[in-house]
Amino acid sequence: MSAFFQLAIAAGAILGILLLWNILLEWRLRRLTKGHSGESLESHLATIARDYQDLEAFKAMMQKEITSLDTRLKTSVRGTGIVRFNPFAGSGDSKPSFALALISEKGDGLIVSTLHARNTVSIFSKNVAGFKTEQELSDEEAQALEKARKSLHT
């Protein structure tokens, strides 16, 4: 066997290996781009890009909604405190009267108190701003306001 013949066999072997490799790569590429329903990889990527854009729009909308809810929540009633009491000493163990404080995170809100007597009920309310009122508070009202303030942190 001559050197030329050996070189031709080696070149043919290399060419055969390269041909097999090319066929294998072509088969893998077709399998990658075909998909189950015959769609191409390009259409899958386009769908993913559209879904990503939709997801980004949804994320922006949700962030705006969360910010709005957070703002509204800060001004809503977040703290409550109630104290039941008997305004008339020595008239039994029942506590029909109460003081109720309803406040926001900033301490704005109101205090509602009732005095129950035998035949009458008196209802009072006092505005609260920054955990303070312009009117003087009874002991029960002050306790209800303090309970409402503490309930904000639980």
Same-domain status, 85 and 68 = no
Q: Is 23 helix (H, G, I), strand (E, B) or coil?
A: helix
Residue range of the domain that includes 117 = 79-151
Which of residues 52, 74, 96 is at a domain's end? Answer: 74
Residue by residue, pLDDT tens for the chain (154 residues) are 688 888 889 999 999 999 999 999 998 888 777 766 656 677 778 889 999 999 999 999 999 999 999 888 888 898 999 999 888 766 666 778 999 999 998 899 999 999 988 788 999 999 999 999 999 999 999 999 999 999 987 6
Four-point Cα dihedral 64, 65, 70, 72, nearest 10: 120
Which of residues 74, 95, 128 is at a domain's end? Answer: 74
Establish if 102 belongs to a structural domain.
Answer: yes
Give CA–CA dist 114/72, Å, rounded: 29
Same-domain status, 91 and 130 = yes
DSSP run (H or E) holding 47: helix 41-74
Q: How far is residue 68 from each of residues 17, 56, 73, 75, 79, measured CA to CA in Å?
A: 66, 19, 9, 11, 20
Q: What pTM was estimated for this model as a whole?
A: 0.59
Establish if 8 belongs to a structural domain.
Answer: no
